[in-house]
Chain A
Amino acid sequence: MTEITAKSIDEALRKQLDALGTSVESREVGTVIQVGDGIARVDGLKDAMAGELLEFTNSEGQTVYGMAQNLEEDEVGAVLLGDVTAIKENDTVKTTGRLVEVPSGREMLGRVVNPLGMPIDGKGPIKADGTRPVEFKAPGVIYRKPVHEPMQTGILAVDAMIPIGRGQRELIIGDRQTGKTAIAIDAIINQKGKDMICIYVAIGQKASTVAGVVETLEKYDAMDYTIIVNASASDSAPMQYIAPMAGAAIGEYFVYNGEDGKPAGPENKGRAVLIVYDDLSKQAVAYRQMSLTLRRPPGREAYPGDIFYLHSRLLERAVKMSDDMGAGSMTALPIIETQAGDVSAYIPTNVISITDGQIYLQTDLFFQGQRPAVDVGISVSRVGGSAQVKAMKQVAGTLRLDLASYRELKAFTQFGSDLDKATQDQLNRGAHMTELLKQGRYNPMPVMDQAVAIYAGGHGYLDSIPVEDVVRFRGELLNYLHASKAEIFDALNKEQKFTDEIETDLTAAIEAFKLQFAPSA
């Protein structure tokens, strides 16, 4: 252990003081003419920029930062980002000449920070590699390439039927308590060992809920590659408003820089990032509050006119960069909470139209025990198909159609009892396949395990198994195959598809296992 002496303290202090910039700056100074609801109206800042960081100083010398929002003819409307009660009328405001920025860098991994990038986990200071602007223009067309690599969530229902690619924006939408956050957390847990940086942005949530998420991620060793940005319900509306953008800025550091921290390029690959915005409905509410107190005109549902642009410019920052730009990616999983399943409300329709697909969660399915409660009928992925591994494509190709016809038949047969054999078989298959999609929390499945499970179901090996045993059968089958027929997975991982040889071996193995499987009833 290093010995702490007066000399070492003196040296440390001198080192830090030597690093102080003592240059004198000329700054524009204004005066607060009105303050309230976290908003300050400032007079005298004629050269302030939109989104500029402003420094408010009260009579006791306490400094609070704010962000210039409304640039009007004779005053500036600014939102306060810190202790709003510290600022009073007549306090001075200085421009800083820079836009709102957050620290970013590799040291942020494993940390919980507020939307200004300050640590809130009690683990000490973060030595950032630099800062990035909170508002950043998304890269243009020539810097991008189409989504082509998979971003597996480890959830069978999602990876099979709603595949997500790196750089995609996939919305998770549903009522409260339907498992939206659970899907996002499972997706983060599944990134272990896949060289993916994960960022979880909690907006307007209870601090205890966020603490629970941190604990879960720590338990599954997922915090090593995760950063949590938290603007809890007790934080001011401006903090909740900038949280998703701050998360995106922290993530962009990894997309635009290589592992060594230097700018990404053909020789220095950018990193893959997964960012979860939980949830954008609350950000929209915070922005509405901010806009109304800034006296911007209200529009539909009292949201300001630029609420669509707020979300579109945020989600446009999700990207798959071209090889020349380092091939980094940022995959976004925005979450939207609906009220009583109403997806035609303002914010849900906006975000649905912006994203590349949605995972729709149904309360009914959740309470029927279908968990994750993904409604595969109306959930889609518009670009993820080209990122799906071939083996999964082979087995999941018809799954969506089979399940759709199953639901249709099921609804129809509720009115009659006499069914022909073909219809009964189809219903039986559908019930088994639906059961197969059930999966516990924090239990992500590797993609080849998923492919094998669907292969077994799709080829009718589950049809004679009681429905209640399907999940147990799946688990035991996969254990059996990993223990006794590991070569099948080796071959699958090598070929990435079902060849005739693999199919022969797999069929034989499933049949052998089925003989020894004991149904519970």
Chain B
Amino acid sequence: MPNNRRIQKEKVAAYATVLVDSAYEAGGQDKVLEIRDQFERILSVVRSHMDLSNAMESSSYTPEQRKTLAREVFAQADPILAEVLAIMAERGDFALLSRVWDSYKTELERKLDVVVVDVTTVVELDDHLREVIINKTQADLGHNVVLREHIDKSLLGGILMSANGRRIDASVVSQLEHARNVLKDSTDGGEC
């Protein structure tokens, strides 16, 4: 139903805009980015807990119960984010969480001209490398870049970068994994 889809789209855009605008007013770009990080973690938690997402969307709870539940579950999150999530739960829109997250990232890029690039390495980046990565990604993406640095020893070496849903994997572990697959296929034909 196109009308319904349009309404959903507008709802998603409204939640995302409110979130970005409120965050920006409360603390500028840093606050927007801080809420972005929290939102990402919350999304990951919700996706991996089927019971939680079901409860947030369940019509067997009253809107008030869902709102209270959301407030309690996300109590440690930033109050702006926690309140938006509580309203989503109250209005039965919690299933739109993934779409709101996408829309939030788009809004962030549009309003602040900023793209967040997640960089994962084995050792901490030095200033020189940080500058090289920022210059390169800014040139490629055409926006200002904010790096989110993560340390993950399991990469063994190399670098893993992701931005806008795309991932560039130049880690040693994935090269080794690729080598393992090639050698495995050429010795047993991938027999299963």
By a beta-carbon cutoff of 8 Å, the part of chain A in contact with chain B is: 13, 16-17, 19-22, 24-31, 33, 43-46, 61, 63, 73-75, 82, 88-90, 94, 114, 118-120, 122, 124-126
Contact = CB atoms under 8 A, between A and B. Distances in A.
Contacts of A29: 162, 165-167
Contacts of A16: 182-183, 186
A25 B170 CA distance: 8
Interface of B: 5, 44, 47-48, 50, 98-99, 102, 162, 165-170, 175, 177-179, 181-183, 185-192
A20 B189 contact: no
B167 A118 contact: no
24 contacts: A24-B168, A26-B166, A26-B167, A27-B166, A28-B165, A28-B166, A31-B47, A46-B165, A74-B98, A74-B99, A74-B102, A75-B98, A89-B50, A90-B48, A114-B192, A118-B190, A118-B192, A119-B189, A119-B190, A120-B192, A124-B189, A125-B185, A125-B187, A125-B191
Contacts of B190: 118-119, 125
B187 to A, nearest CB: 7
Contacts of B165: 28-30, 44-46
A459 B99 CA distance: 79
B106 to A, nearest CB: 11
Label chain A's interface by main secondary structure. loop
A15 to B, nearest CB: 10
A22 B191 contact: no
A16 B189 CA distance: 14
Contacts of B47: 31, 33, 89-90
Contacts of B192: 82, 114, 118, 120
A29 B166 CA distance: 6
A54 to B, nearest CB: 14
A118 B188 CA distance: 10
Given A90-B44, A120-B192, A125-B186, A24 B169 contact: yes
A93 to B, nearest CB: 11
Nearest to A32: B47
Contacts, number: 77
B175 A22 contact: yes
A349 to B, nearest CB: 33
A124 B189 CA distance: 6
Contacts of B179: 17, 20
A27 B189 contact: no
Contact of B191 (A19, A46, A119): A119
A19 B175 contact: no
Which of the listed residues B5, B167, B170 has the most CB atoms from chain A within 10 Å of its own CB? B167
Contact of A94 (B44, B167, B170): B167
A272 B1 CA distance: 49
A118 B189 contact: yes
Nearest to A17: B179
A119 B185 CA distance: 11
Given A26-B168, A33-B47, A118-B191, 15 more contacts: A16-B182, A17-B183, A20-B178, A24-B168, A29-B166, A43-B98, A44-B102, A44-B165, A45-B165, A120-B191, A122-B191, A125-B185, A125-B187, A125-B188, A126-B189
A55 to B, nearest CB: 11
Contact of B167 (A19, A27, A73, A75): A27
Contacts of A89: 47-48, 50
B47 to A, nearest CB: 5
Contacts of B177: 61
Nearest to A124: B189
Contacts of B169: 24-25, 27
A45 B102 CA distance: 11
B182 A19 contact: yes
A19 B179 CA distance: 10
Contacts of B175: 22
A197 B98 CA distance: 51
Contacts of A122: 191
A114 B191 CA distance: 9
Nearest to B159: A24
B59 to A, nearest CB: 19
Nearest to A15: B186
B98 A33 contact: yes
Contacts of B44: 90
Q: Which 7 A-B pairs have the closest CB atoms?
A: A125-B189, A29-B167, A24-B170, A90-B48, A118-B190, A119-B189, A26-B168
B163 to A, nearest CB: 10
B40 to A, nearest CB: 11
Contacts of B170: 24
A235 to B, nearest CB: 10
Contacts of B162: 29
A130 to B, nearest CB: 15
B154 to A, nearest CB: 9
A443 to B, nearest CB: 35
B2 to A, nearest CB: 11
Contacts of A27: 166-167, 169
Contacts of A13: 183
Contacts of A19: 182
Nearest to A24: B170
A120 B190 CA distance: 9
A98 to B, nearest CB: 16
Nearest to B180: A61
Which of the listed residues B47, B181, B186, B189 has the most CB atoms from chain A within 10 Å of its own CB? B189
Contacts of B188: 124-125
